[in-house]
Amino acid sequence: MAEQDERTASMESFNDNYDSPWKEAVEHYFPEFMVFYFPEACAQIDWSKEHVFLDQELRAVMQDAELGRRYVDKLVRVTLLNGDENWIYIHIEVQGTRQAEFAKRMFVYNYRIYEHYDKPVASLAVLADEHANWRPDYFSYGVLGSEISIRFPIAKLTDYHDKVNDLLTADNSFAVVTATHILTQGTRKNDNERYKAKQLLVRLLYQRKWDKQRVIDLFRVIDWMMRLPEELEQQLWREIETIEENEKMQYVTSVEKFKIAKERQEGWQEGLQEGLQEGLLKGEAEMLGLMLRHRFGDLSDAVVNKVRHASEDQLKEWLISAISAPALDAVFNDGSTH
């Protein structure tokens, strides 16, 4: 069931783009992100001091710790009100899928970052899937009296499904982002309803009297998430022009419109490429598994996991070896098949 959910969401992600707008919104409005989803943690941060995103550092730390597909991962350096400097690690799941190894990945990322910087790490997760009862917030294991564990705060977007009207009037950028995400999911199969929802969100942006850059940033989030057929997109642009004329404000200029359209197309192409690549890897892994079972019988959990988490180059090498290998060990040539 979980694998079917992931496959379905992977196909649906071709139509709805979540990654890019979430990344942009977190970076541009991080304090609002924290106060909206994690108010207790937010209250302990000294916002008069600079906060710094460390994306390159995070990639360097995690380059050999891939556990499933990564989504929006952010590492942020902040100063606490008590004077201590901490590393806050934020992992945001925005793909609308449940993942069996999500809590394990949070644990692995947490200790890798702690090991690298030798500083406390706060792991926080926003779960944007559509399964209200899926709430992973804990991972542990123990053996021979030794135990290690992590518990991390989560924000669950399904908790806001009956609060959309409140979100639409709240003075927080992530109230808008959350409402947009929920309305995107709810109108996935109805273009006309999506148009109405997108039109409502855009109108509300202009009514807020927020500064121009904030309106443009949040419009970009709405536009990237809520894809419409070309005819309805053009109809919406005409609606925006009318709004700007009536409100006597020119926010989304022709230049800005072109920029948004270009960024949206680039984001779509990037997401499509990632989805295709993921599909190819999964297909190669399934092919290798079938070949190994045909030649050597049932596979151990260790072998199944090894194949599932292999890189593209490893899978290709093992597929070639599996054709003529005299035994299962010889396919991998490292003795790790038990």
Residue 305's pLDDT is what?
A: 78
> Residue 101: is its pLDDT beyond 60?
yes
Q: Summarize the confidence of residues 302-306 as an average pLDDT.
A: 79
d(CA 324, CA 331): 9
> Residue 15: is its pLDDT beyond 50?
no
* Residue 32 CB neighbours (<10 A): 20
Give 129: exposed, middle or buried? Use CB within 10 Å, 0-12, 13-18, 19+: buried
> Residue 277: is its pLDDT beyond 60?
no
Confidence of residue 29 (pLDDT cuts 50, 70, 90): very high
State the virtual CA torsion across 268, 269, 270, 273 in degrees, nearest 10: 120
Q: Are strands 146-151 and 138-143 parallel, antiparallel or unpaired?
A: antiparallel
Confidence of residue 253 (pLDDT cuts 50, 70, 90): low
Confidence of residue 252 (pLDDT cuts 50, 70, 90): low
Do residues 121 and 90 touch, judged by C-beta distance below 8 A?
Answer: no
Percent of the chain at pLDDT exceeding 90:
30
pTM: 0.69
Domain residue limits, the chain: 2-160, 191-270, 288-338
Confidence of residue 212 (pLDDT cuts 50, 70, 90): confident
Which residue blocks in 135-229 are alpha helix, DSSP H? 164-169, 173-186, 191-207, 212-225
Range with the poorest average pLDDT among 147-161, 169-183, 218-232, 318-332 = 318-332
Q: For residue 150, list its beta bridge partners.
A: 139
Residue 250's pLDDT is what?
A: 65
Query: Which of the pair, 65 or 84, is modelled with greater confidence?
Result: 84
Q: Which two tokens stand for residue 330?
A: 């010889």
Q: Summarize the confidence of residues 179-185 as an average pLDDT.
A: 92
Residue with tokens 């996991």: 305
Do residues 89 and 75 touch, judged by C-beta distance below 8 A?
Answer: yes
Among residues 192, 262, 268, which one has the least CA distance to residue 225? 268
Instruction: Evaluate the CA torsion angle 7, 13, 14, 16 in order and state its sign.
Output: positive
> Residue 168: is its pLDDT beyond 50?
yes
Among residues 179, 18, 11, 182, which one has the least CA distance to residue 95? 18
Percent of the chain at pLDDT exceeding 70:
77
Q: Summarize the confidence of residues 277-292 as an average pLDDT.
A: 69
